[in-house]
A and B are shown apart, each in its own frame.
Chain A
Amino acid sequence: MASVTFDHVSKRFGDVIAVNDLNLQIADKEFLVLVGPSGCGKTTALRCLAGLEEISDGRILIGDQVVNDVAPKDRDIAMVFQSYALYPHMSVYDNMAFGLKLRKVPKDEIKRRVGEAAKMLGIESLLDRKPRQLSGGQRQRVAVGRAIVREPKVFLFDEPLSNLDAKLRVETRTNISKLHQQLATTFIYVTHDQVEAMTMATRIAVINKGILQQIDTPQNLYDRPDNLFVAGFMGSPAMNFLKAKLDKADGKLYVDGGSFRVEVPADRNSVYAGYVGKQIILGVRPEDIYDPHYCPPGIFKQPVEGKVEVTELMGNEIFLYITTGEHNLVARVDPRTGARMGDRTQVAFNMNNMHLFDPDTERAIR
């Protein structure tokens, strides 16, 4: 058990900067998810921590110890690879025992630990099998088991679910969360899937182009994104971004997008005061756009007119793809809505949950 610190860590491959001045403090027993699009440097960051890549700048600490020059085997970490990397010529038992054998752990101790881990993961009956005789889900569990038996300070997961089918992925997600509670150890988990990040993490670090965008709890990240990238990356369907201008009339602020003009809640007036008369980007999540007939009471709603281009029924909700003027937006509305493809319709923006972004800096205006 230990904390992990990235202190101004950079990693360059020739001219390419994979990780750019990364600062992270990961607390003991935390479940931190590094999330970002492919090629954003999240896996590289993890590999730097594992010691598979040498860092170009900065320091990495595990606990209080700087591990820059510590060999991977002495960092007391275990890693689950995306491809699982199970040794194909060894049985499941030997795969799990390999690291312990190399560390000269006594035989009966190895047996005990492998037995316990196998029981925890429900793979006791597979111990004599070879990896190729296992299904994808079983391989994944063996890969986790191999990490568990080592009883490391820090667990590293590199997209461990991306080779599983959708159903199994959901199941395994919960299992990994349970495992984190049982083991009470620091987990660092890399994924490109924001749903995995939202569901499992105690904190999420969003990375783009090698740069840390924001690190916070899943709820805060979702509710208060720092910039356009984070706002657009977290949530599905993604947040709607509408280019508009901030106006002032009769002491009230309005967001004017040409085809729509919506009023800003009065409590935000002071925050946005500096942007009056300027171009801004309005951010509205699809679930904050309602069919006016099925709109919950007590929200500050503003009407917007538009044309329904496409509807997608999801069962418990309907996605409406709406155009208004030059803007496209997605609304996630009650399935009882009367809106049909091709209709002109009116929807309501929940302005309590609005976001404004500066179009130049792309940062949230707060």
Chain B
Amino acid sequence: MYKHKYRVIIPFLAPAVILYLVFVIYPYARSMYNSLTSWKGVSANQPFVGLYNYVRMINDEFFWNALIHNLQYLLFLPIIIISLSLFLAFMISQRIRFSKFFRVTFFFPQVISIISIGVLWSYVYHPTIGILTSLLQAAHLEWFFQIFGFEGIPVWVGDERTVRIAIGAVVVWQAAGFYMVLFLAAMEAIPQTFYEAAIIDGANRWHQFWNITIPLLWDTMQTALVFSGLGAFDMFAITRVMVVSGSSQTRPADVLATYLYEQAFEASRFGYATAIAVSLFLLMLTLSALTMRVTRREAVEY
């Protein structure tokens, strides 16, 4: 090899390393430090308070309230999104009629900005002029909701019992198309002969899906699981747009991201907000590592 190879390597690497240090590593480290202060966000004064913010967080019922909501999303959203998109991808891969049309239609929400989606769905859910409520009223379905203890048709975003279901449904609607395209691409990469061999082995559609498609999509599903899991830990934009912050004392729509935003930019408790952010970061990191570990399989190649 070259004797002085580092003379070449260093100048090429330096710009990227410097940018990364300044804009990624330093802010991370700085946040870690900030979370140990009671910084108000505007003054240069950052009084060091040690782990005070973290102790406060553990005793803050609204922190737990937000975290539990995130965990609820985490429990339901990835499963629903992945099963739905897998189902859609399978149907479309069977070359049903108008499959191209469905493909584009299902993917469409992905190209709309999340803010527009929030606004759009706020109107869908609107208690007096919303299309959903109107349709349910027209179908006289009040009795159905009364079974679950509602007085009539729920007000969706305005009711603490339904607000997270309403928001979750929007996220499913928005994300399913993306994962569908992801799965479709992976399905099309599976050689047709595997299915032919399986057909001759006596496999019906269901066997083929379960024994060939799913195992060979495993890598893609793992990626989808991590992505959608991280998505469930975020939920910031959609929640901010659809729910007026502080509109309810019980904070039924709060997630960690919206709660820390409020703490920082509305209550000027930057130190505390950063502590929440650091916890959120660690939670997401653990989640990804855990998902990758639990779902690890031998890689397949074909």
Contact = CB atoms under 8 A, between A and B. Distances in A.
A107 interface: no
Interface string A53-79: 000000000000000000011000111
A73 B201 contact: yes
B193 A73 contact: no
A102 B202 contact: yes
Nearest to A104: B202
B138 interface: no
A87 interface: yes
A99 B298 CA distance: 23
A102 B203 CA distance: 7
Interface in A147-196: 150
A81 B193 contact: yes
Chain B interface, >50% SS class: helix
How many chain B residues sit at the interface, stated as a range, is 20 to 34
Given A87-B212, A88-B216, A103 B202 contact: yes
B200 A50 contact: yes
Contact of A79 (B200, B203, B211, B212): B200
A311 interface: no
A213 B59 CA distance: 88
Contact of A102 (B193, B207, B301): B207
B192 to A, nearest CB: 9
Contacts of A130: 298, 300
B207 A83 contact: no
A146 B216 CA distance: 20
A52 interface: yes
Contacts of A99: 200-202
Nearest to A78: B200
A98 B196 contact: no
B200 A98 contact: no
Nearest to A83: B193
Contacts of B297: 89
Given A50-B200, A73-B199, A102-B201, A83 B191 contact: yes
B300 A132 contact: yes
A102 B300 CA distance: 22
A99 B212 CA distance: 13
A85 interface: yes
A72 B193 contact: no
A179 B209 CA distance: 33
Contacts of A146: 197, 201
Contact of A81 (B196, B212, B298, B300): B196
Contacts of A88: 216, 300-302
A85 B300 contact: no
A129 B293 CA distance: 23
Contacts of A85: 191, 193-194, 196-197
B130 interface: no
Interface residues of A, number: 23
A86 to B, nearest CB: 8
A208 B195 CA distance: 29
B202 A73 contact: yes
Interface string A278-315: 00000000000000000000000000000000000000
A81 B202 contact: no
Contacts of B196: 52, 79, 81, 85
Interface string B203-216: 10001000110011
A230 to B, nearest CB: 31
Contact of B301 (A50, A132, A150): A132
A88 B203 CA distance: 16
Nearest to A50: B200
Contacts of A87: 194, 197-198, 211-212, 215
A79 B302 contact: no
A183 B48 CA distance: 84
Nearest to A52: B196
A77 B300 CA distance: 28
B295 to A, nearest CB: 14
Interface string A30-57: 0000000000000000000011100000
A88 B201 CA distance: 15
B200 A72 contact: yes
A99 B202 CA distance: 6
Contacts of B218: 89
Nearest to A71: B199
A24 to B, nearest CB: 20
A121 to B, nearest CB: 17
Contacts of B200: 50-52, 72-73, 77-79, 99
A221 B218 CA distance: 51
Interface string B161-205: 000000000000000000000000000000101101111111100
Contacts of B302: 88
B201 A98 contact: yes
A145 to B, nearest CB: 13
A176 to B, nearest CB: 19
8 contacts: A52-B196, A52-B199, A85-B193, A85-B194, A87-B198, A130-B300, A132-B301, A150-B201
Given A102-B203, A146-B201, 5 more contacts: A83-B193, A88-B302, A89-B298, A102-B201, A130-B298
